[in-house]
Structure 1
């Protein structure tokens, strides 16, 4: 691991913040339609997201870009979808965090639902890590890191991020 100069990093962060931060700005987008992840087993993924996390499967179709692949969607609330593809026959390797790849996906849930979901993760033997009293991190069946956060949309740990 390369040594880092935290003071230099903070100075650069301040420079970028001063130059580009636009709180309350207007986006050209309407919102996140869906985020698409890869999975190795469609049924295992459906069972995990629907039965463990309570995200209803809303549609399942053939992938128009790869014959034999399935494209399927889960409702994660507020008009947002989490989608998956499988790619049978491609022999994809195990999940890896790489530059340009997924670090984690944070999904906002109501605080009481957050407690229920932690219990569901424990009941199903899913290892998780709780942080700051409002976040729980775990890995899905293929290793993608998921965060369930009890903070409202647009807020994170007491900060307004929207």
Structure 2
């Protein structure tokens, strides 16, 4: 059975720039670093790959691969394509909003999603980072026995299929 998230891994342009954002700005400690010259399955990595891990309070990590000799299309991601949402306490949300603005960072929000309030930054790799604070009632909003999640998905699927067929 799946117990939880160990880590999510993404590519990065520069490990030190990535560390400055995740450790210095967000406060996630650099927990582990691996230099990979050959994978455990025997694939060589050319000039080598650096794999870094930044730890969250629950022990899970955000991880990054810097692979200088492997092409990767870095681009500013749209929130709908990819974003990383990290939970914070409500008072931390306001502090990070002020900190981001004072450092001249791109920051959006506060967005009220009715079950969380969020602010958004862009990391040095183009990924959207969402800081989300739960609001009262969040547990009920995320309870599928109360929120109608399955019925909404079924309705979406039925209407999407009908719309696609008509087009």
Normalising by the residue count of structure 1, what TM-score does the alignment of the two structures yield? Answer: 0.71
CA distance in 1, matches of 2:81, 2:55: 20
* Equivalent position of 2:31 in the other structure: 58
* Equivalent position of 1:126 in the other structure: 105
Does structure 2 retain, via aligned residues, the 8 Å contact 1:52–1:124? no
In structure 1, stretches of 5+ residues that fail to align are 1-27
2:57 counterpart (62, 66, 77): 77
* Equivalent position of 1:143 in the other structure: 126
Matched pairs, number: 130
Higher strand share: 2
CA distance in 1, matches of 2:75, 2:61: 21
Larger radius of gyration: 2
Normalising by the residue count of structure 2, what TM-score does the alignment of the two structures yield? Answer: 0.69
After superposing on structure 2, the runs of 4+ consecutive aligned residues of structure 1 that deviate more than 4 Å are: none
CA distance in 1, matches of 2:10, 2:143: 24
Cα deviation digits, residues 76-112 of structure 1 (max 9, x gap): 22121110001111232222659xx951111001111
**Alignment of 1:35 onto 2:4:** no
Cα gap change, 1:116/1:50 in structure 2, threshold over 3 Å: closer, same or farther? same
Supply the RMSD in Å over aligned alpha carbons: 2.4
In structure 2, stretches of 5+ residues that fail to align are 40-44, 145-167
